[in-house]
Amino acid sequence: MIRIYTTQKDYNLYRTNLTHNSVGIVATMGNLHEGHLSLLQKSIEENTVSVVTIFVNPKQFGPTEDFDKYPRTLDEDLNKISNIALHASAQYPEKEIVVFAPKNIDEIYPIGFNTIISVGGVTQSLEGAKRPTHFDGVTTVVYRLFKIVNPSNAYFGQKDYQQCIVIKKMVEDLSININIHILPIIRNSDGLALSSRNQYLSESERSIALHLSRTLKQIEMLIKNKKDYTSLISDELRNNKWDYLEVLDSKNLAFPQNQTKELVIIGVYKLGSTRLLDNILVSNL
């Protein structure tokens, strides 16, 4: 069954009766696609109650970014979640799906809210270097959602890899008792990672966008074959519209060392005003 709450007060009334159940959270900004739904499926498998939050978080957008035009499609989102709930109820009749979709921003940031959760180190490079206030916005909202929803498990997509590392660091540093699960990137059949921002692309941009996943794949092949990938990266950065393209230690986003076990090939490709993120994890052994 699916329950929908738009205020903390109503959600709290429900949550206080759940003391013995495991609760999974899938935090989203809505406009749900198969990527988001894969996180929900996993949460349903692993928890009695799965809470999908839908909140377009103003704090993680920079002043010139797309907060106003970010797609808001609550009715379609609820239909997609209901569909999943319907299938899940046949397999797991005892499980519940909850949607927490605050209507008002002050449900999350009450008037006078004046706290920032800010992780150091891993937030300074890549997305953090390009979008200086972004991760403070992400960690502040995720912390708020964790406090409100009170989950045992949280599900995030590898698609936003640096975000996953930042959230893991926040959870570790603040001793937050929530298991963080990072799930694989869901892609279109042509390789493009699903993203709510793909719909900003024109038809011609959509086909140019494939250069992103193809380049990451090329670098992956070079790494697997123990060949040099640095000249390919330099050529790409010189000739194409990358915000960044790097191969880093997947654990801490530092420059890889000999003992690095796993690498992340991570890049942002720019098409007009749209920035497309993607990454691949590859063993370094």
Kindly indicate which of the ranges 8-16, 29-37, 44-52, 69-77 contains the residues binding ligand AMP, using the contact rule CB under 6 A.
Answer: 29-37
Contacts 24+ apart (CB under 8 A), 60-69: 60/133, 60/134, 60/135, 60/137, 60/138, 60/141, 61/134, 61/137, 62/131, 62/132, 62/133, 62/134, 65/131, 66/197, 66/200, 66/273
3-state secondary structure of 256: coil
The site map against ligand AMP for 131-170 (x = CB under 6 A) is: -------------------------xx-xx----------
| Residue of 168, 192, 178 whose CA lies nearest to 147 | 178
28 binds ligand AMP (CB under 6 A): yes
Residue of 20, 33, 36, 134 marked catalytic: 36
> What's the closest the beta carbon of residue 38 comes to ligand AMP, in angstroms?
6
Report how many residues bind ligand AMP under the rule CB under 6 A.
16
> What's the closest the beta carbon of residue 54 comes to ligand AMP, in angstroms?
8
38 binds ligand AMP (CB under 6 A): yes
35 binds ligand AMP (CB under 6 A): yes
Residue selected from 99, 108, 185, 216 as contacting ligand AMP according to rule CB under 6 A: 185
| Residue of 198, 200, 178, 168 whose CA lies nearest to 186 | 198
d(CA 247, CA 222): 12
194 binds ligand AMP (CB under 6 A): yes
> What's the closest the beta carbon of residue 24 comes to ligand AMP, in angstroms?
13
Shorter beta-carbon distance to ligand AMP: residue 188 or 218: 188
> What's the closest the beta carbon of residue 70 comes to ligand AMP, in angstroms?
9
Residue selected from 196, 213, 215, 250 as contacting ligand AMP according to rule CB under 6 A: 196
Task: Compute the half-sphere exposure of residue 257: CA atoms within 13 Å on the CB side of its CA.
Answer: 5
Supply angle C-alpha 141, 145, 281, rounded to 5: 70
Q: Which residues contact 134 (CB under 8 A, 6 or more apart)?
A: 60, 61, 62, 127, 128
Concerning whether 20 is annotated as a catalytic residue, the answer is no
> What's the closest the beta carbon of residue 147 comes to ligand AMP, in angstroms?
18
d(CA 78, CA 261): 41
Residues at the site binding ligand AMP, with contacts judged by CB under 6 A: 28-29, 35-36, 38-39, 156-157, 159-160, 185-186, 193-196
Give me the active site residues, please. 36
